[in-house]
Amino acid sequence: MPLSSTSKHQEWISGWGQTHPVHATIITPKSNDEIQALAPTLQQWIPRGMGKSYGDASVGHAVIDSHYLNQVINFNQVNGIITCNAGISLEDIHKISIPSGWFLPVVPGTQLISIGGAIAADIHGKNHHQSGSFSDHIHSLTMMTGEGEIITCSTEKDSDIFYATCGGMGLTGIILSATIQLLAIETSWITQSVTQTKNLEETLTYFDENSNVPYSVAWLDSLADQASLGRGIIFAGDHSKKSELAAGTPSLILDTPAPITVPCHAPNGLINPITMSIFNTFYYHQFSFKPAHGIVSYRPFFFPLDSVGHWNRLYGHRGFLQYQCVVPLPSGHDSIKEILEAILKAKTGSFLAVLKRLGAGNPLKPLSFPMEGYTLALDFCHTPKVLALLTHLDEIVERKGGRIYLAKDARMSTSTLKSGYPDLDKLITIKRRLDPHNKIQSQLSKRLNIT
Ligand SMILES: Cc1cc2nc3c(=O)[nH]c(=O)nc-3n(C[C@H](O)[C@H](O)[C@H](O)COP(=O)(O)OP(=O)(O)OC[C@H]3O[C@@H](n4cnc5c(N)ncnc54)[C@H](O)[C@@H]3O)c2cc1C
């Protein structure tokens, strides 16, 4: 296959947090055959999906952009099994699957990510406690190694490669296609309950006592202090049944409004403790007056931020950091309390603080993030004071036996990585086997001495 349609250009790229930009060569093949033909010609590369990982996971001096590899290869509308190229977005899968009553079994807070990115980060959703992570629903995947070899693997065939690739942050090779079991839905609506909690104990107890609810997530007011520490709003729900809809409501409809877009970077400092405090107080109290139960479309329930294009520009040119950790259950309540208290003490605030309960992880996947416990995701402005706070949070998470999510990370140390991912060496061994010339490297893998 000639390489004539593969394009290459130079561009500044970064993760979604817009920190640490790199001037990169973007290689854009138009087919999987082209990728294979390219392999021997490349010195160093990393796969890139839609660039929605916050830090430097999909950033490198050369990236293979999977943008054009966006075809559905086969979709069986009877059993919900879909085979697609890895560059296709979750949104584009939903455009095909929702009208025929199928939904992706695990979705993150945005559907503007690729299938390859979802597998490589082994993403989790609001239903991890019941449904596990994204790759738990993969029948098989086909990938290309650093040597240009094509491998199809699954939990049955070459399972060590499969498990290392699920959560492997692109370091074992580029995923070309995947076969995924979708979830049957009667409607595209969600029967939602909204619960306002007064403090952390109430918030965490909700998760502990409501594990039968398929989807749940809490927004926390990270500025609330003293008796209100950890207060928040819990959004929980499940796919509505047809019988729950008002007469005449169409049951399976796509919800795709045109997003409004933040046109340019906001001034640095727009998001500060005062604006955060006003936002948090307003956001928390508005739910005192809103109905606690209702039927909402799937989009605002799962993907509320997708209606604002380039919302990352609100943090200004210096960008922002998302910190996501998970702390194990036995001391989970104390751990989350200690983290929230440390944030208050540092007076940095966090614009967005989201808490979820995770179910058990899979120890066969050496770099997969989930473990049974509570996960907290926090957005911070990118400032020296915040960097010092995050190093302190790392110490708490390490001491408690937790770990940091690589899809969000832009700054943790190698020792924090090793403490959170004790099976890292398994990933490194498999990577050396598949990529003996160490071609596949990202800024993240170099920073953390993985490659
Ligand atoms: C608003 C928002 C909400 C989010 N919510 C959640 C959430 O609830 N849960 C969650 O788990 N994550 C969440 N994320 C993180 C996001 O789901 C992951 O970072 C995901 O990996 C992004 O996919 P992408 O296509 O943008 O990949 P990129 O950011 O481009 O790449 C991410 C990683 O995947 C690798 N990769 C990409 N494509 C391939 C491929 N074809 N083959 C091999 N490796 C590949 C890259 O090398 C990189 O290591 C959220 C992100 C945003 C911006």
Statement: residue 430 has pLDDT above 70: yes
* Residue 420, ligand 1, Cβ within 6 A: no
Q: What is the mean pLDDT of residues 427-435?
A: 97
Domain boundary residue among 50, 65, 80?
A: 65
Quote the ligand 1 centre to 89 CA distance (angstroms). Answer: 11
Q: Looking at the structure, do residues 226 and 150 belong to the same domain, yes or no?
A: no
- pLDDT over threshold 50, residue 1: no
Which atom from ligand 1 is nearest to the alpha carbon of 126?
8
Residue of 123, 129, 306 to mutate, ligand 1, most atoms within 8 A of C-beta = 123
What is the 113 CA–ligand 1 centroid distance (Å)?
6
Instruction: Tell me, using a 6 A CB cutoff, whether residue 231 lines ligand 1.
Output: no
User: Whose alpha carbon is nearest atom 15 of ligand 1?
Assistant: 53
Q: Are residues 210 and 310 in the same domain?
A: yes
CA–centroid distance, 51 to ligand 1, in Å, is: 7
Residues 292 and 381 in one domain: yes
- Judged against a pLDDT cut of 70, whether residue 451 lies above it is answered with yes
- Is the whole model's pTM more than 0.85, yes or no? yes
Q: What is the mean pLDDT of residues 158-183?
A: 98
pLDDT for the residue 291: 65
Mean pLDDT for the stretch of residues 441-451: 97
Ligand 1 centroid–CA 345 distance in Å is 31
Average pLDDT over the chain, rounded to whole? 94
Among 70, 182, 164, 156, smallest CA distance to 119 is for 164
* Å from CA of 60 to ligand 1 middle: 15
% of the chain exceeding 90 in pLDDT:
82
Looking at the structure, tell me whether residues 371 and 277 fall in a common domain. Answer: yes
The verdict on residue 214 lying in a domain is yes
Query: In terms of DSSP bridges, do strands 189-197 and 174-181 run parallel, antiparallel, or are they unpaired?
Result: unpaired
Interior/surface letters 75-112, b for 16+ CB within 10 angstroms, e for the rest: beeeebebbbbbbbbbbbbbebbbeebbbbbbbbbbbb
My answer on whether 333 and 220 are in the same domain is yes
Per-residue model confidence as pLDDT tens digits over 292-348: 889 999 999 999 989 888 888 888 888 999 999 999 998 999 999 999 999 999 998
Instruction: Using the atom order of ligand 1, give the atom closest to the CA of residue 121.
Output: 21
Residues sharing a CB contact under 8 Å with residue 302, sequence separation 6 or more, in sequence order? 107, 109, 111, 125, 126, 190
- Residue 445 forms part of a structural domain: no
Q: List all residues 6 or more positions away from 65 whose beta carbon is below 8 Å from its beta carbon.
A: 26, 27, 28, 48
Residue nearest to atom 21 of ligand 1 (CA): 117
Q: Looking at 139, 160, 185, which one is the last position of a domain?
A: 185
Angstrom distance (rounded) from CA 142 to CA 175: 6
Residue 432 lies in a domain: no
**Per-residue pLDDT at 136:** 98
82-107 pLDDT, tens per residue?
999 999 999 999 999 999 999 999 99
pLDDT at 232: 95
In a domain, 26, yes or no: yes
Q: Are residues 230 and 205 in the same domain?
A: yes
- Does residue 13 fall inside a structural domain? yes
Q: Which of 155, 185, 215 is the last residue of a domain?
A: 185
Q: State in Å: Cα 18 to ligand 1 middle.
A: 15
Is there an atom of ligand 1 within 6 Å of 52 CB? yes
Atom of ligand 1 nearest to the CA of 66: 41
**Given this model, what pLDDT does residue 274 score?**
80
Same domain, 335 and 412: yes
In this predicted structure, the answer to whether residue 208 has a pLDDT above a threshold of 90 is yes
For residue 113, which atom of ligand 1 is closest to its CA? 25
Q: Give domain status of residue 212, yes or no.
A: yes
Q: How confident is the model at residue 289 (pLDDT cuts 50, 70, 90)?
A: confident
Confidence of residue 2 (pLDDT cuts 50, 70, 90): very low
What residue numbers bound the domain in which 16 lies?
A: 7-65
Ligand 1: which residue has its CA nearest to atom 13?
108
pLDDT confidence band for 401 (50 / 70 / 90): very high
Determine if ligand 1 sits within 6 Å of the CB of residue 443: no
H helix intervals, 323-363 = 332-346
What average pLDDT score do residues 401-430 get?
98
Query: Would the pLDDT of 228 be above 90?
Result: yes
Q: Which residues of 351-365 are buried (b: 16+ CB within 10 A; e: fewer)?
A: bbbbbbbbbebbeeb
8 A C-beta contact, residue 196 and residue 284: yes
Q: Which residue among 11, 59, 114 is best mutated to probe the pocket of ligand 1, counting the most ligand atoms within 8 A of its Cβ?
A: 114
Pocket perturbation via mutation, ligand 1, pick of 44, 113, 127, 305 by most ligand atoms within 8 A of CB:
113
- Examine the pLDDT at 66 and tell me if it is beyond 90: yes
The pLDDT tens digits of the residues spanning 234-272 come to 999 999 999 999 999 999 999 987 778 887 887 776 777
Closest C-alpha residue for ligand 1 atom 51:
52
Whether 235 is covered by a domain: the verdict is yes
* Residue 368: CATH number of its domain: 3.30.70.2520
**pLDDT > 70 in the chain, percent:** 99
Whether residue 81 sits in one domain with residue 61: no
- The structural domain count of the chain equals 3
269 and 303 co-located in one domain: yes
The model's pLDDT over 347-363, given as tens digits with 9 standing for 90+, comes to: 987 888 999 999 999 99
Distance 117 CA to ligand 1 centre (A): 4
Verify whether ligand 1 is closer than 6 Å to residue 167 (CB atom). Answer: no
Q: Alpha helix locations (H) across 50-191?
A: 90-97, 115-120, 128-131, 159-165
Residue 21 is assigned to a structural domain of this protein: yes
Residue 60 and residue 91 share a domain = no
Minimal-distance CA residue to ligand 1 atom 6: 108
Q: What is the pLDDT averaged over residues 118-133?
A: 98
Does the structure show a pLDDT above 60 at 3? Answer: no
Band of residue 287 on the pLDDT scale cut at 50, 70, 90 = confident
> For ligand 1, what atom is nearest to the CA of residue 354?
8
Q: Are residues 271 and 135 in the same domain?
A: no
Task: Please tell me if the CB atom of residue 57 comes closer than 6 angstroms to any atom of ligand 1.
Answer: yes
**Could you tell me if 357 and 333 lie in one domain?**
yes
